[in-house]
Chain A
Amino acid sequence: MGYRTLSLDLVLRALFLDDWAFDQMRDDDNPFVEGLFLIVIIAFLTALLALVGQWLAWLSVPPLGEIKAIILDALQQMSWWGPMSANPQALTGFQRSWDMAWQVFPPLFGAPDPRGAAYNILAWPISGIVVWLVYGVLAHLFARLFHGAGTLSQTLGTTALAFTPWMFQGLRVIPFVTLAGFIGVWQLILRYKALRSTHQLGWAQAMWATVLPLVTLLILAVLLGGFAAALLALFIGAR
């Protein structure tokens, strides 16, 4: 049984950029396991809190189906409804668009979605682990290119601490609370600190090792998008 480094104190110190937290994680006997545990626990607990918030919000608003019926009733009283509904093709088209709009728009405008929030209890830990591993491995490769001194396990352990700003998602236990992109910037700052601490890099090398994995992933995404578009064009052209 290894020595347990993780504690609430360490997590909070990492969140607020204390070098001590990153050094402690780097020097742990198994930083990878500590990092994995941290990501799963944060993602799971915040998803659970967000589910409570979504459920409370859902209890405080009228059922979406009844709102939809009232608005449809109002539309049916508009002067254009009569001529439009006389055309069966137009009516079918309207019905299709209407149903699709009610699937797509309510979540975008913050309508409570307890089902989606329940799904996040599984989705957030899994996506958290995938993002952490992909970024961590790439960041390790770039750090080693810059003559970094850390091991892969140390890199993964310290970069897992960059997941701590995700804890703010727990604020969504309060219904209708929204959080913008600051979490991503905060994570970037923590990743820089993690790589600097793990690999003992200078500030410029640490910055490049932090940013280059994201640039690589962006280029890969563009290439994959282009490849998918080309395949689609080929497929459509063949029909």
Chain B
Amino acid sequence: MKEWTKVLLNAALFKTEAYEWVAGRRDAFYLGFITLIAIALITGLPAFIGDLVDAARPGVPQVNVSATMADVQRSLDAIGPMVGIVSPEAQKMILDQVEQGLELGVTAARQIAALPTPLPSPTGGIFEALGRYLSRPFTDTGIPLSRVALSTWLGYGIWVMLFAKLMGGRAGLAGFFGTTALYAGPFILTFFRFIPGVGPLLAILAFIWGVLIYVKSTTVSHGFGYGKGILAVALPIVIGALLIMLFAGGIGALTAFASMGN
């Protein structure tokens, strides 16, 4: 544990020997897996505690109907210019429906929360909070490397591995995935994302730091220079973006063609 923490710290400081140490290990993939799970669970702790506190509170969260209605009114005002003028009568009808629905919804939610369950309350809430917390490393998704999750580590990783191999990379799968898991290290900073104002900055810092570690991991594990390392990491995103643009362009062209026909 102490040794692994030291490796993570040295990797965060871009010391090549830390990357080489992981790449050369037979259990590199296991180490990478454990690193990802541990960091995802540690950084998810504040949210988990918040969820537990919410679960322990009796009843349902209070809903301020008048504040919500003011939000709806603002939204209607905002979309007015886009959808055309909404007549005052139509506006009133929409608002009345929304208000009635909201009030009935809150009442129904209270009734549901008061229903008896075979296991005593708040067992259900605690189970849900625990389930959500433990699911984090397995379900979290987003831009590659912006999350500490198995989907990004493995799903994005196989493409980087493929491009690295095509460029003459020499890493084995275990060594590559073991070293690239080091990108998760800086994400420990996101433990403090609950601090107002600082949270998003920490997430951006962790992301950039993580990407740099990922490039270094790819470079060291495959035994080539930084140019190829950057290319291997960037190519899956560039090609993915190009494919999306081509697809969207194709759909757009087809739509335009169809509307011309009409």
Contact = CB atoms under 8 A, between A and B. Distances in A.
A178 B139 contact: yes
- Bin chain B's interface residue count: 35 or more
Interface residues of A, number: 41
B108 A62 contact: no
Interface string A136-180: 000000000000000000000000000000001001001111111
Contacts of B117: 59-62
Contact of A189 (B116, B124, B141, B158): B158
A168 to B, nearest CB: 7
B259 interface: no
A180 B138 contact: yes
Interface in B7-27: 26-27
A185 interface: yes
Contacts of A179: 135, 138-139
Contacts of A61: 117, 124
B127 A74 contact: no
B162 A182 contact: no
A141 B119 CA distance: 53
B151 A181 contact: yes
A175 to B, nearest CB: 4
B102 to A, nearest CB: 11
Interface stretch (A39-47, A64-72, A214-222): A64-72
A186 B101 CA distance: 45
Contact of B127 (A63, A175, A203): A175
Contact of A79 (B100, B149, B162, B173): B100
B115 A171 contact: no
A78 interface: yes
B97 interface: yes
B33 A74 contact: no
Nearest to A177: B131
A56 interface: yes
A73 B174 CA distance: 57
25 contacts: A16-B29, A61-B124, A62-B116, A63-B115, A74-B108, A75-B104, A79-B96, A80-B97, A168-B138, A171-B138, A174-B130, A175-B128, A175-B130, A175-B131, A176-B128, A176-B131, A177-B135, A179-B135, A180-B139, A182-B138, A182-B154, A185-B158, A188-B158, A189-B173, A193-B173
